Amino acid sequence: MKIYFSHGKESEPWGSKIKRLASIAKEIGCDVDSIDYRDTLNADVRVERLLNILKNEQDEIILVGSSMGGYVSLVVSEQVKAKALFLLAPALFMEGYQKQSYVSDCQNIEIVHGWSDEIIPVAHSIQYAKAADCTLHLISGDHRLMGSLDLVAALFQGFLARIIQK
């Protein structure tokens, strides 16, 4: 099982949130990679980059994305078979993004979104979760979720435990 992390618009591939989640994934035996998108702020260019990386992937994959990376992971899952998606405050239904509707075949999707997110409206995650009939964790926290990182890590650990058993 390989996990691909996609960071947010102005983040970096090995920021503290991704490092924390990657260490949990490694502990249970998953391979991890975090894609570097810092050379472009265009979400749809990032989608193409991840699709290119995944075109020769043989392992089962899990896509994890934060903010713009959540958009990237979800859109990529429409074209690549992912075992699961874990999205943190995903930038869905955002003005200027090419895709405004999402139809993933992935059956294992969980979203975590902070109630106090000042960048991506929490209503966007509610809208998607309702349409996709997926799990949505609304937690205390802002867009970065750093003040809730212990809870995010626990949710991710539980998510991986459920996915690995399937």
The residue written with tokens 């502990």 in the block is 27
pLDDT of amino acid 165:
81
For the chain, give every domain's residue range. 2-165
Q: Is 101 helix (H, G, I), strand (E, B) or coil?
A: coil
DSSP 100: -
CATH T-level topology, domain 2-165: Rossmann fold (3.40.50)
CA-based nearest residue to 111, from 71, 150, 146, 52: 71
Report which residue type is found at 87. Answer: L
For the entire predicted model, the pTM comes to: 0.97
pLDDT in tens, the chain (166 residues): 999 999 999 899 999 999 999 999 999 999 999 999 999 999 999 999 999 999 999 999 999 999 999 999 999 999 999 999 999 999 999 999 999 999 999 999 999 999 999 999 999 999 999 999 999 999 999 999 999 999 999 999 999 999 998 7
The residue written with tokens 């994890």 in the block is 64
